[in-house]
Amino acid sequence: MLGEESVDIGEKQDGKLWVDKYAPRMYVDLLGEERINREVLTWVKQWDHCVFKKPIKKVQPGGNPIDPYHRPEKKILLLSGPAGLGKTTLAHIVGRHSGYNVIEINASDDRTGESLRNKLIGAIESQSLNSKRPNLIIIDEIDGASASGGEEVCSFSKPTSSKRRVLLRPIICICNDQYAPVLRPLRAIAQTYAFRPPPHRILANRLTEICKQEGLQTDLRVLMTLCELTDGDIRSSLNTLQFFRRKTRVLTIEMLAGMEVGSKDMTRGLFRVWEDVFTIPSAKKKKKLGGGEDGDAGRYIHRLLALVSANGEVDKILQGCYENYLKMRVVDTVASTSDTTRSATKIEQALDWLVFHDRIDKFLIVDKDFELFKYQPFTIVNFYRLFAGISKPTIEFPRADYDNFVTRRMNENIVSMFMNTLSLSERVTWGNRARVLQELVTPLLQIISPDFRAVNVNLLKSNERIVLDRLVDVMVSFGLKFVQEKGEDGHYMFKLFP
């Protein structure tokens, strides 16, 4: 329960969600990475001559060929990132700030590419009766569209023909997973920006101002904890605070820990298990377990086994142990063993237990020997024996698997784009993806990375010129090139494409 005073909270709530009530109204109110906000606004402003017939700035010599309609080089913008980070809000604010009437389309509502195309044509060519502003189209959840839907969006930015309409209005697509298969053709032609959670302190400061306006007493430490629980999800943080404000006037860390709010139920359960694994119980907690001094450790280990078994997410718990055990304060770097001729460190013992877990998994999956299932939690219990400490640990949710999944999807996409650039004769030799990865990619990267002196091309020696000419021929034959891109620090760099 959150307190008896929850019943007599004086102020009448207006019934409006805080997510809408405190949504940014102007560009300066936006959270998130300033660089992305600025570059999205710059991309939209590049449509000014095409849409508003504003004067064209003088084109720098040596720049990209001028579009006949003076549009950006990439005609579609793709914003990607987890939910709740403000992607749609940014698109709406930038559109209104630039003088557009914003029209939002949810691509996941359309099961066919034809219906999505009809909606797009209607949004681009229609004019609102209440506003004379031109339209800017936002396509939300584009990764939830059908495969043909993604291709239909791409068709708007392709070179015009006698039967194809010319795209004369900006389109902003929004997705959670930019590497979804449906977005493969769109990634190749769209200007892409990946959103990351805002710094927790910046988000906590904004939440502090909201709490003061709503009469919710709390402090920055509690709000920082909330930001960590929600992983920087602005929408989830505001909904959580509004939930507590309906019940009480004061918010504490104990309330956050005691309620399944701010993150998924499974995640909160996992955090409790990880804290128990890496924390030695206090004297007060030992007293609750009962028994004498000699029986405390054994009783707690049995309780930990029951806790892990009841949770059921043994693999996920072990992933969390694996990602966090090196961050623990290990008092003794060498653990005593029964073998007097050899001392194994605690880290070595932990790795041995991980091997034991992998072997159990092998017997479960391959041999279907389900009798061994009851031995899985013992690996986790040994992490308690080796790494548990008195102080409360700082636990991070395991993200290595997801990061590896995203990296693998990105690398697979690069390989697919590379194979598409091969000529027909080369595809006969290198048509198999596994063979390309095993026999071509690694040697090719070494070939196109020769050891050159960092001097002007005119100062190269004759043998170095021969190597350079050969390098250019190899890159041309495989469709490789260097593309200039702006880094996060604002400096330009050359990246190998694809």
Residuewise pLDDT in 10s, the chain (498 residues):
344 344 344 444 567 888 888 888 888 888 878 888 999 999 999 888 888 888 876 554 444 556 777 888 888 899 988 888 889 999 999 999 988 988 888 887 765 667 777 888 877 777 766 778 888 989 888 877 766 666 667 776 665 444 556 788 888 999 887 777 788 788 878 888 988 888 888 888 899 999 999 889 998 888 888 887 777 788 888 888 988 888 889 988 888 766 655 444 333 467 778 888 888 877 655 554 444 444 455 666 777 777 777 777 788 888 888 888 888 877 655 544 455 555 678 888 888 888 998 888 888 888 887 888 888 888 888 888 888 888 778 877 776 766 777 777 777 777 777 777 777 777 777 777 777 777 777 777 777 777 766 667 677 778 877 877 787 777 777 777 776 666 655 666 666 766
Is residue 168 within 8 A of residue 124, CB to CB? The reply is: yes
Is residue 384 within 8 A of residue 327, CB to CB? The reply is: no
- Which tokens go with 415? 């390989």
Closest CA to 210 of 24, 50, 382, 338: 24
Q: What residue segments make up the domains of the chain, in order of their start?
A: 32-194, 199-263, 274-387, 402-497
Residues 252/258/259/262 CA torsion (nearest 10 deg): 60
Q: What is the Cα–Cα distance from 115 to 224, expressed in whole angstroms?
A: 44
Architecture of domain 32-194: 3-Layer(aba) Sandwich (3.40)
Q: What is the Cα–Cα distance from 12 to 14, expressed in whole angstroms?
A: 6
Per the DSSP assignment, residues forming a β-bridge with 194 are: 80
The CATH code of the domain at 199-263 is: 1.10.8
Chain-centroid distance, C-alpha 163: 39
Pairing verdict, β 344-345 and 334-335? antiparallel
Closest CA to 2 of 220, 207, 168, 247: 247
DSSP structure string for 222-234: HHHHHHHHHTT-H
Q: What is the Cα–Cα distance from 461 to 456, expressed in whole angstroms?
A: 11
